[in-house]
Chain A
Amino acid sequence: MLLKDTIRENQAFLTRAIVAGLLVMVAVAMLAWRMVQLQVIDHEHFTTLSRENRVKVLPLPPTRGLIYDRKGVLLAQNRPAYSLEITPEQVGDLETTIAELGRVIEIDEEDLERFWLLRKRKRRFDSVPIRVNLSQDETAQFAVHRHRFPGVDIKAQLLRHYPHDVKTTHVLGYVGRVSQRDLEQIDVSNYSGTSHIGKNGVEKTYESALHGVVGLEQVEVNAAGRKVRTLEQSPPEPGVDVHLHLDIGLQEVAMKAFGDNNGAAVAINPKDGAVLAFVSQPGYDPNLFVEGISTKNYKALQENDSRPLYNRALRGQYPPGSTVKPFMGLAGLERNAIQYDSSVYCPGFFRLPGNTHRYRDWKKGGHGSMDIESAIVQSCDVFFYKLAYELGVDRIHDFLAHFGFGSRTGIDLTGESTGLLPSREWKRRARRQPWYPGETLIIGIGQGYFLTTPLQLAAATAAIANNGTFFTPHVVDYLRSRETGEINPIPASPHPIPIGFQQNWEDVRNGMLKVVEGARGTAKRIRSDKYRIAGKTGTAQVFTVAQDAEYDEETLEKKLRDHALFIAYAPIEDPQIAVAVVVENGGHGGSVAAPIARAIMDAYLLPEAPPPEEGS
């Protein structure tokens, strides 16, 4: 029946509709319960998560301190530099993006190499520079196309720059990007915002002062990690400025005086050990290293025969040659091995008792009768062979050790070499061999195992000049806070040498004075009318000449020629500067090294005088 069916259907439908309605109610209740769970019960938990999401603590890197020379000339500065950086996380395909970028801005092999290198070290969301030091034009050029490159941005940062580049490298060192190895040695949180760190030189020694203390900033960020606004801030403490004793003008004069020669020169103030000039020739441009040097450039520096990367003043180890004679003479006098008027006849060679081997003098015919003064002035080898023989190696070692030979001077630069001041004990330990008497003789003329650095020679010369105080050389004068003006001086550290008899020192200094002022002095050509110089020439063998052969400078290849050395201080009455010069393969000390020392002393002592002529 139609009506009955319809009513039954209607009834059935109503039941189902009510069931459906109830199911809807149950489902909505479930949903509402879920909301209560999330929004009421777990509300606090999610509030924390939400806050962690949006609030990030960002480091505020401090500005690095500047470096000045003694006259306030800026040697290391922070220059605003613009770099183009890619955040890999925000870029789809790096290769295509870089290829595209290459059409807008010049990107060369070096840039690519650096990019992929840095990329490996950084996290996905860190930006990596693809181009550094953008010019203004390039910056503008990119800005026009910027919308095409999401995840690529121009970043402004302060970049270290050394305006006197090559002149300061071996003293200042340079900063470079913080490496994995650096990270192991520093307080990582303090460097959380810092990209560069001192790699060597003053930049490294005074890293903690120059760097400063990191500040922190609480910021609200969006999901892409971009800062939306600042919530809280504690500013960084900028690095402290470093003022050097070094005089960039002096440095320049010294480098110029070297001409094409390789070598090193160190000038020290004998009154406090302040390093006035510190030259290692050749130098190189430290600015290359700041943004990471390219393999090509690095290879060129490494393969250069002149080894510009090698810090000769600090690490170069040379036999002191005859420059050691004043120290030997002083040792002989102080240890009573000789007297002031002890005379030795020089026939041009020396023989050990009971031995036929001839230890030759540099002067074939011999110097004739020699005392300590004339032996220093004319640099007689035979006199010092005999003296050394009488002193014995261990007494020589113990006396010379007072002048800093054989150990690091403790200068405020890293990587210093010790040189080598031999002794019986050293030979037994290092070579597992006994000491032979002949070896003592050649120590007496600064050859054999004896090695010194130019820095050691300068510091030792300063100790003679100031009458017996060895000062630890230091490059930095004081630290100065830019904010407070507070000055933190680096104190001199004196190490007095015990003096046996004062006159012995005067005698030796007198000999050194006559090296320059005397008629037969080996460095008489650098005599000055304006002030009096005391010095000593030296020649260090690179190539051992056979027993009977002649050393002929003309026929020898330049790199086998002797090193020329010269130590000096001036003015004699009140020494203000002590200098040590080493000219590699320069030949004789008096003709090549001494003029360089003279040029440095002139520049320091006669500041008004015009720059000295070559070889004057």
Chain B
Amino acid sequence: MNYSPRQLGNLTPTNPNRRQGLLAVFHIDLPLLAGLLLLSGFGLIVLYSASGENLAQVERQAIRIVLALAIMLAIAQVNPTTLRRWSPWLYAVGLVMLIAVLVFGQVGKGAQRWLDLGIVRFQPSEMVKLAVPLMIAWYLAEKRLPPSWQRLSIAAVLIVVPVLLIAKQPDLGTSLLVASAGVFVLFLAGISWRLIGALMVAGAAAAPAAWYLMRDYQRQRVLTFLDPEKDPLGAGYHIIQSKIAIGSGGLYGKGWLNGTQSQLDFLPERHTDFIFAVLAEEFGLTGVLMLLALYLFIIARGLYIATRAQDTFARLLAGSMTLVFFVYLFVNTGMVTGLLPVVGVPLPLVSYGGTSLVTLMAGFGMLMSIHTHRRLLPT
């Protein structure tokens, strides 16, 4: 067989000293960092308006971003080999904590999500968002790909257990993200198209069953999604107001700080889950396309890093992390624009709040680590 140099590119030894300077020393991927900074900055500008010009809130979020970036950089220093070694342990700890949260957890907003560790209140499901793709990538990378049926089954169990534990809290949004993180690893690992097709058919068939397993409020959300006008002042209110905000924004928007839907409180949750509507109202289609372009750039860079990764584990991990980032974006914007039912997923790196921010940045830290720690010889 002949191998073109392009195909061998991944195997070409890279001299770590080739790229000199601070970026290399601190294992920073500049394009990714630039994308993240631009996105976060844009987010803060929108947040200033969405919070009702509350500078203190913007400052708090800026501090969180800085902290999350620090965590990202810290993780970027960790060698992917180390990450790989930690994977099963992280997964095990995550699972134990998920069980703990169901037993001892604190109830907030009708769901048990928090674990009080004395010093900090901690949401184990966030850690599991990272632990699941790490674990599945670790497990599948042990043997040749594509995985055997047996390994595939075990991987499926490894995904389903934490997903069910999170769904039971209940936290539909997070369990969805965790499930997709695992599934993306399987997809990237090359499971057969036939299997993918079969799973999709099975999923469609299982939908009625899922209906019976859902809680009342979850069913309500689905019903509201299907017909928001049915209850315009109740459950449908969020979606109706959000669509009005977006639609009335038009091509160029009403101008920063001038969105009537957002500034006059018609838009609920406007600085958290519905911040996309604020942006769409004030910056119009132009602003929306700019935002989507930024997201696409980050996703493209992530996928590029994945394809350039040196081993299976790193590839699967990087690919999954990037695609989960996209799932955040799609579920959130889909919900805000009325394409998807209301599921509590924030607009990544833009919505106000620190929990998902830290997890996402940690993921990007892994991407940077994968891209900047290069071995001279293939294993």
Contact = CB atoms under 8 A, between A and B. Distances in A.
Interface of A: 3-7, 9-14, 16-17, 20-21, 24-25, 27-28, 30-32, 34-36, 38-40, 42-43, 45-47, 49-50, 53-54, 220-224, 228
A47 B250 CA distance: 8
B303 A223 contact: no
Interface stretch (B29-37, B86-94, B116-124, B283-291): B283-291
B162 to A, nearest CB: 23
Contacts of A39: 246-247, 249-251, 280, 284-285, 288
A46 B326 contact: no
B250 A16 contact: no
A3 B10 CA distance: 12
Contact of A223 (B8, B265, B285): B265
Contact of A16 (B188, B247, B266): B188
B145 A46 contact: no
B224 interface: no
Nearest to B315: A13
Interface of B: 1, 3, 7-8, 10-11, 144-146, 184, 187-188, 190, 241, 243-251, 260-261, 264-266, 280, 284-285, 288-289, 292, 295-296, 299-300, 303, 306-307, 312, 315-316, 319, 323, 326, 330, 333-334, 337, 339, 378
B264 A40 contact: no
B333 A31 contact: yes
Given A20-B188, A24-B299, A35 B251 contact: no
A46 B243 contact: yes
Nearest to A54: B260
Contact of B244 (A16, A36, A49, A221): A49
B247 A38 contact: yes
A302 to B, nearest CB: 43
Contact of A5 (B144, B244, B315): B144
A31 B289 contact: no
A24 B326 contact: yes
B1 A53 contact: no
A24 B295 CA distance: 11
A31 B328 CA distance: 13
Contacts of B8: 7
A-B pairs with the 10 shortest C-beta distances? A46-B247, A50-B248, A223-B265, A222-B264, A38-B247, A12-B190, A46-B248, A39-B285, A223-B266, A49-B244
A13 B319 contact: yes
Contacts of B299: 21, 24
A31 B291 CA distance: 12
Contacts of B3: 7
Given A31-B334, A40-B251, A46 B264 contact: no
Contact of A13 (B188, B326, B330): B188
A27 B285 CA distance: 17
Given A13-B319, A39-B246, A42-B247, 13 more contacts: A9-B145, A10-B10, A12-B190, A16-B188, A17-B307, A31-B333, A31-B337, A34-B337, A35-B289, A45-B247, A53-B260, A54-B261, A54-B266
B249 A53 contact: no
B146 A46 contact: no
Given A31-B333, A35-B285, A40-B251, A46 B246 contact: yes
B314 to A, nearest CB: 11
A6 to B, nearest CB: 7
A444 to B, nearest CB: 74
Contact of A220 (B11, B244, B245, B264): B264
A508 to B, nearest CB: 76
A68 to B, nearest CB: 46
Contacts of B11: 6
A24 B330 CA distance: 9
Contacts of B295: 28
Contact of B264 (A13, A27, A34, A228): A228
Given A20-B319, A224-B265, A50 B190 contact: no
A10 B190 CA distance: 10
Given A36-B285, A49-B244, A222 B265 contact: yes
A40 B312 contact: no
A46 B241 CA distance: 10
Contact of B280 (A10, A27, A35): A35
Given A20-B188, A34-B339, A10 B144 contact: no
12 contacts: A6-B11, A7-B7, A16-B190, A24-B326, A35-B280, A39-B247, A40-B251, A40-B285, A47-B248, A50-B248, A53-B261, A223-B266
B61 to A, nearest CB: 23
Given A50-B248, A54-B260, A16 B187 contact: yes
Indicate the member of B260, B289, B295 with the most A CB atoms within 10 Å. B260
A174 B260 CA distance: 44
Contacts of B333: 31
Contacts of A7: 3, 7-8
B296 A50 contact: no
Contact of A53 (B145, B266, B284, B378): B266
B184 to A, nearest CB: 8
Contacts of A11: 7
A77 B307 CA distance: 85
B80 to A, nearest CB: 16
A40 B284 CA distance: 9
